[in-house]
Amino acid sequence: MKPLDAQAYVDGVRGGDRAILARAITLIESEQPAHAELAQEVLGALLPETGGAYRVGISGVPGAGKSTFIDALGTMLTSRGHRVAVLAVDPTSSISGGSILGDKTRMSTLANDPKAFIRPSPTSGTLGGVARKTRETILLCEAADFDVVLVETVGVGQSETIVAGMVDFFLVLLIAGAGDELQGIKRGILEVADMLAINKADGDNLPRATRAQASYQGALRLMRAGSVPPVVTCSALEKTGLRELWALVVESRGDLEASGEFQQKRQAQQVQWMWDMVEDGLRRALHGDPDLSALIRKLEGAVGDGHATPSAAALRVLRRFAERAGDVLTRG
């Protein structure tokens, strides 16, 4: 395949070329230094055309039906004229490094919708189940004129609340009738959720869903000071409750924009993004330097054996890193 220059990527993304958009996402996901430089050039050129989409994170307990829900919600939104991008983050095996990447088969209706774009992406072990480059992918999708970006994350766990730092609205999908309604979901998720949605509220399960709704409302009142996020019921299978759910998402954004909180939140996310990238870069630099990598392995053993404190070991690593960074600057 012929290599593209920055302008070709920019023109293709702006023009809504799906193949170019997919290649641009692959570019920003690349670990090669030359690709990273080109990716930043492309993102810099497209930056003025980003920021206009509804950014919604969707998480949920196992078996909650996230893919069916996103398929139904996304199809409803495209029928209303929206252009929907789905960033479906897949689990990557810590043993083989392989990834399932089966989202297009799990969202069959949306996958064939000309107003939708689905991009499966491996997590590569990233904290929170969110791919390291998900933020950049959101920007590319916005520049390609997608006005709704749905980020599907893996499972529910305390670390996964990282998704709340890159979206405007964080939706947690739940189910009823699976024993204790408050099991299987961590307190940290409830503390950052903007909405809880009880899916599969249909047929014989409808009464259980209604009871679960009351249980979660009570739990949220106990743990959340101030305003309590809404708890709704829906059925992705029967496509009920989705219009009401989305109306609350739109209402939330309107309220935040009116108060000025929306822009403040976006600005804070951008700053946090910068520091996340700094920390990620430092971690990579530490492990990429042979001398530092050897020292880190040695100190890990010492800490594990109880021969050194974690704080003392960390200080040694940081001092050695500063020394080597100073040597590089002096030689430069």
| Tens-digit pLDDT profile for residues 76-120 | 999 999 999 999 876 554 444 444 445 556 788 998 999 999 998
Domain match, 125 and 247 both: yes
Question: Residue 158: in which H helix or E strand, if any?
Answer: none
Residue 3's CATH number: 1.20.5.170
pLDDT at 81: 96
The verdict on 193 and 299 lying in the same domain is no
Residue 127 has a pLDDT of 52
Output the pLDDT for position 225: 76
The H or E element that residue 17 is part of is none
Name the least confident of 183-197, 230-244, 287-301.
183-197
Tens-digit pLDDT profile for residues 272-304: 888 888 887 888 888 888 999 999 999 999 999
Q: What percent of the chain has pLDDT over 90?
A: 55
* CB 177, CB 205: distance < 8 Å: yes
- The reply to whether 21 and 97 lie within a common domain is no
CATH number at residue 201: 3.40.50.300
Task: Encode pLDDT of 124-168 as tens digits.
Answer: 655 544 666 888 999 999 999 999 999 988 655 554 667 788 899
Whether 80 contacts 48, CB under 8 Å: no
Same domain membership, residue 67 and residue 4: no
**90, part of any domain:** yes
Q: Is residue 45 part of a domain?
A: yes
Residue 128: per-residue pLDDT: 46
Report yes or no on 264 lying in a domain: no
- What amino acid is encoded at 178 in this protein? A
Sheet holding 169-175, edge to edge: 116-122, 84-90, 148-152, 54-60, 169-175, 195-199, 231-233
The answer to whether position 145 is within a domain reads yes
The answer to whether residues 108 and 221 belong to one domain is yes
Same domain, 205 and 79: yes
Residue 261 belongs to a domain: no
**Within this chain, do residues 247 and 122 fall inside the same structural domain, yes or no?**
yes
Q: Give residue 40's domain range.
A: 1-49
Contact 23, 4 (CB under 8 A): yes
Helix, strand or coil for residue 8?
helix
Same-domain pairing of 324 and 188: no
